[in-house]
Amino acid sequence: MVEAWGKYSAGEYERRFLLQEIPPGAADPRRIRDRYLTGTRLRLRLTESPDGQLLERKLGHKRRVADDDPTAVMHTSLYLDRGEFELLAALPGRDLVKVRWAVDLDGEAGSVDVFEGDLLGLVMLEVDLKSAARLTGFSPPAWAGPEVTQDEAFTGGVLSMLLPADLDQAVTRLVGSGR
């Protein structure tokens, strides 16, 4: 696993799990509006507080270290002003809206995403473990459902394209019944 990330990239070692609901202790909700720009690996992100206050606008680029390994990615972010964001938001893309909650996983920081719109009912846990060694040694909490890290259907870019029936089919494949 590569430990030397690019000069402008931050390394992320991620695992994702389906959840039935927001777990106890989840805090600090933030609404995230993502726009995946068509034909690229670029994502625009607008983050707001629960009362709608703008927290940040950014352009992100994620690249896997190895094409067949979704656990290790290089992530680069550029923070944008309003004009830059609006200009890029006018490009063709697919939108995804979720509320992200912070959770403590025995000292590891996790995020619980509760999706809206066509993905209403989908709840996922994501944990960024900061190193390859911690990635393999991580034990998910008892309340976590099936791991979906290796399932492309549960990546942001693919989720932004899914219709409710497609999502139901993906979940059924893992747990035996729809959302």
Residue 178 CA, chain-centre distance (Å), reads 21
Cβ contact 129:13 at 8 Å: yes
pLDDT digit string, tens, across residues 89-104: 999 999 999 999 999 9
Give the Cα separation of 121 and 151 in Å (integer).
Answer: 18
| Amino acid (one-letter) located at 27 | A
Residue 170 near residue 179, CB atoms below 8 Å: no
Q: Residues with Cβ < 8 Å from 168, sequence gap 6 or more?
A: 178, 179
Q: Token digits for 124?
A: 């996922």
Interatomic CA distance for residues 35 and 38, integer angstroms: 9
CA–CA gap between residue 23 and residue 18 (Å, rounded):
12
| Rg (alpha carbons) of the chain, rounded to whole number | 16
| DSSP bridge pairs for 62 | 75
- What is residue 177's predicted lDDT score, i.e. its pLDDT? 59
Residue 18: other Cβ atoms inside 10 A:
20
Q: Can you point out the beta strands (E) in the chain? A: 10-19, 27-37, 42-48, 54-66, 69-79, 93-105, 108-115, 123-128
Q: What is the pLDDT of residue 121?
A: 92
pLDDT at 34: 98
Question: Which stretches in the chain have pLDDT values below 70?
Answer: 1-8, 177-179
